Amino acid sequence: MTERLRFQVEKFLTGPNGTKRARAARLELRATSPDVQWLPIETPAFMPVGTSGSVKALTTDEVSSLGAKIILGNTYHLYLRPGHERIEKLGGLHRFMNWKGAILTDSGGFQVFSLSNLNKVDDQGVTFQSHIDGSTHRFTPELSMEIQRSLGSQMVMAFDECPPYPATREQVSRAMKRTRDWAERGLRVELKPHQARFGIFQGGLYEDLRVESAQQITELPFDGFAIGGLSIGESPDMMQKMAAYSAPLLPFDKPRYLMGVGRPEDLVEGVRAGIDIFDCVMPTRNARNKQLFTSFGKINIKNTTYSDDTKPLDPNCQCETCKNYSRAYLRHLFISGEVLSARLNTLHNLSFYAELMRQMRRAILENRFDDWAKSFYTQYHAKSFEK
């Protein structure tokens, strides 16, 4: 069998009782082009979300210029439009969207539950109605694999059932059982030789169920593992606590992925707990909705404070937005509904996230993560930005 993924922990930090915590690693995924064999990704890493075959508002050249080596594509969206078979016929998702890095595709499960109407789950799969035109569709673990095979992503996620929050112990238990059955069914579907597989475990906010689910999933032959079922409505504190509890339940020598997380603080705490990769729509979606992240905290660019402010958005940032435009201009673009607003804001927010990950990696490698985190929080919460 072809080797589909390489993962090497370069450095890890230990907690008070010798527990292994934050780590810097090198993840390598198979290239789809014949020119290169492996696509290296330095972790901890954040994956920008490219829902429908586009990291919203940016070209792939720009995404790449931010240092992103891997992006996320959504199986649910691409299945509905333009269709996975079409994308495969057009040469796969990489070629379709002109992306030369790696791609992770989710399983479609989460979107089926959260975006579609009238979904009905049974032990065999999920029937749902498209959020686009109301048409009826059905996802099974097998179809999810087939779609992801057509898309040709490097990282294929298992089709899981994510119970809602809040959920009873019984609901979480049942979803866990299905998640394990579906993981096994998905593993029986052959993928392309370059595609690595990630398992997802559940367990909600029940520690003992987390232990059980992690055990069930990690004994299956996956190349990496993801913590599912978090960041779905619980408090940030509960999320961070359960992520920190969950990370060590996963094998040390395989990549760990915390799905759908999160705010800058959540990334810091996730990394501290030993998570390697993250994804979230927050930097891109919030950019289009006036919220920008800076080293001095998050700001609302619509605020009149910025009307006459000639300073760059974040004087500590090296992105094209901060190098070329003033806060006053960014405010004007947002207020005027200019397309450029979405672009410049997205570029900045993703740049901020990328720099945050780079800083954390450096701090781990230099054995000063806790100090770094402390000074990050001090500045991020200082609210000194407006002055």
Site residues (CB under 8 A) for a copy of itself, limited to 276-335: 288, 307-308, 310, 320, 324-326, 328-329, 331-333, 335
Q: For residue 156, how far is the Cα from the chain centroid?
A: 13
Q: For residue 330, how far is the Cα from the chain centroid?
A: 27
Segment contacting a copy of itself (CB under 8 A): 36-44, 86-94, 159-167, 349-357? 86-94
| Least distance in angstroms from the C-beta of 149 to a copy of itself | 19
266, 279, 308, 314: which one is catalytic? 279
DSSP 39: E
Contact assessment for residue 132 and residue 81, using Cβ atoms and an 8 Å cutoff = yes
Around 66, how many Cα atoms within 13 Å sit in the side-chain half-sphere? 30
Segment contacting a copy of itself (CB under 8 A): 4-12, 84-92, 136-144, 204-212? 84-92
- The answer to whether 106 is a known catalytic residue is yes
124 touches a copy of itself (CB under 8 A): no
Which position has the token pair 């390598």? 28
35, 106, 237, 308: which one is catalytic? 106
Segment contacting a copy of itself (CB under 8 A): 14-22, 85-93, 135-143, 194-202? 85-93
* Nearer to a copy of itself (CB atom), residue 100 or residue 137: 100
59 touches a copy of itself (CB under 8 A): yes
81 touches a copy of itself (CB under 8 A): yes
Residue 256 is inside which H or E element, if any? strand 256-258
Q: Is the dihedral of CA 232, 131, 122, 197 positive or negative?
A: negative
| Least distance in angstroms from the C-beta of 90 to a copy of itself | 6
Omega within 30 of 0 (cis) for the link into 312? no
CA distance 91 to 75: 16
Q: Pick from 27, 97, 151, 200 the residue near a copy of itself by CB under 8 A.
A: 97
CA distance 4 to 276: 18
Q: Pick from 36, 90, 238, 382 the residue near a copy of itself by CB under 8 A.
A: 90
82 touches a copy of itself (CB under 8 A): yes
Expressed in angstroms, the distance from the first to the final Cα of the chain is 59
Residues 6+ apart with CB under 8 A from 99: 50, 60, 63, 64, 71, 93
| Least distance in angstroms from the C-beta of 75 to a copy of itself | 15
Task: Compute how many residues bind a copy of itself; rule: CB under 8 A.
Answer: 39
Around 358, how many Cα atoms within 13 Å sit in the side-chain half-sphere? 11
54 touches a copy of itself (CB under 8 A): yes
Site residues (CB under 8 A) for a copy of itself, limited to 159-178: none
Q: Name the maximum alpha-carbon separation found in the chain.
A: 61
| Least distance in angstroms from the C-beta of 33 to a copy of itself | 15
Which position has the token pair 């790449």? 64
Which position has the token pair 């999933």? 217
359 touches a copy of itself (CB under 8 A): no
| Least distance in angstroms from the C-beta of 357 to a copy of itself | 24
Taking Cα atoms as reference points, which of 303, 286, 283 lies closest to residue 352? 283
Contact assessment for residue 267 and residue 43, using Cβ atoms and an 8 Å cutoff = no
342 touches a copy of itself (CB under 8 A): yes
* Nearer to a copy of itself (CB atom), residue 68 or residue 205: 68
Strands (E), 15-135: 20-30, 38-43, 45-47, 70-73, 102-105, 117-121, 126-129
- The answer to whether 370 is a known catalytic residue is no
Segment contacting a copy of itself (CB under 8 A): 20-28, 118-126, 181-189, 338-346? 338-346
| Least distance in angstroms from the C-beta of 101 to a copy of itself | 15
* Nearer to a copy of itself (CB atom), residue 120 or residue 311: 311
User: CA dist 372 to 105, 190, 220, 275, 356, Å?
Assistant: 32, 44, 37, 17, 11
| Contacts with a copy of itself, residue ranges (CB under 8 A) | 52-54, 56-61, 81-82, 86, 89-91, 96-98, 288, 307-308, 310, 320, 324-326, 328-329, 331-333, 335-336, 338-340, 342-344
Active site residues per annotation = 106, 279
